[in-house]
Amino acid sequence: MDLALLSDEALLALVSRGDEAALGSLYDRYGKPAYRLALRILRDPSLAEDAVQDAFLTVWRTASAYRPERAKASTWLLTLVHRRAVDFVRREQRRRTDPLDETFEPADEGRTDDEAATREERRRVQAALTRLAPDQREALELAYYGGLSQSEIAERLGVPLGRSKSRMFSGLGRLRDILGADLAAPG
């Protein structure tokens, strides 16, 4: 059987049954676009390669979870890549914001205060994001962490452009409400 002639959905069905050649065929089709997507998000070739590898490992493990009625196979696969890349960004941000060795003496106290305020603001926003509806949070993360346009977000999520914009708009409003309420709350 020539796997190159099969649809993406048929390849995913074979992958769900443990067909390594089908996974290889999917990688041949989507490895380069997946890498470009991850690189655009991560801006680090090595991390981008790791994100793509993790995403294809997830495809191998969870191909049976793919539902063709929800999204095209390419959208599902590239969404996995995008999520892995965003996870890597978050991991790197956490790594960079972890406390330094206690013997470290900052040279510029004002700059350290600014960095602390930025870290605290980032923590507040990330905590607020967890309180959003999953579809709103995903749309906002794709836009702000992933740098995707509205039309790219709609395509990635497999929804009409208007619905994607609506999720963004309502998510931003809800985020503003949450952050405003957090600021107004005592201590």
Domain CATH number, residue 66: 1.10.1740.10
Q: Is 88 in contact with 51 (CB distance < 8 Å)?
A: yes
Torsion of CA 82, 83, 87, 89, to 10 degrees: 20
What count of other Cβ atoms lies within 10 Å of the Cβ of residue 104? 8
Number of structural domains (the chain) is 2
* The domain boundary residue, chosen from 68, 96, 124: 96
On whether both 80 and 59 belong to a single domain, the answer is: yes
On whether both 62 and 144 belong to a single domain, the answer is: no
On whether both 139 and 76 belong to a single domain, the answer is: no
Q: What gap in Å lies between CA 39 and CA 36, rounded to an integer?
A: 5
Q: What pLDDT was estimated at residue 104?
A: 47
Q: What pLDDT was estimated at residue 184?
A: 59
Q: What gap in Å lies between CA 83 and CA 80, rounded to an integer?
A: 5
On whether both 3 and 71 belong to a single domain, the answer is: yes
Residues 6+ apart with CB under 8 A from 87: 51
Q: What pLDDT was estimated at residue 109?
A: 53
Q: What gap in Å lies between CA 12 and CA 10, rounded to an integer?
A: 5
On whether both 84 and 132 belong to a single domain, the answer is: no
Q: Which domain holds residue 61?
A: 1-96
Q: Is 37 in contact with 55 (CB distance < 8 Å)?
A: no
For 147-158, what is each residue's pLDDT tens digit?
777 777 888 788
On whether both 164 and 187 belong to a single domain, the answer is: yes
Q: What pLDDT was estimated at residue 23?
A: 95
Q: What pLDDT was estimated at residue 148?
A: 72
Q: Does the residue 136 lie in any domain?
A: yes
CATH of the domain at 135: 1.10.10.10
On whether both 1 and 74 belong to a single domain, the answer is: yes
On whether both 88 and 5 belong to a single domain, the answer is: yes
Q: Which of 89, 173, 14 is nearest to 81 (CA)?
A: 89
- pTM score, whole prediction: 0.52
For 111-133, what is each residue's pLDDT tens digit?
677 778 778 888 888 888 888 88
Residues 6+ apart with CB under 8 A from 151: 161
On whether both 16 and 52 belong to a single domain, the answer is: yes
Residues in the chain where the model's pLDDT stays below 50: 100-102, 104
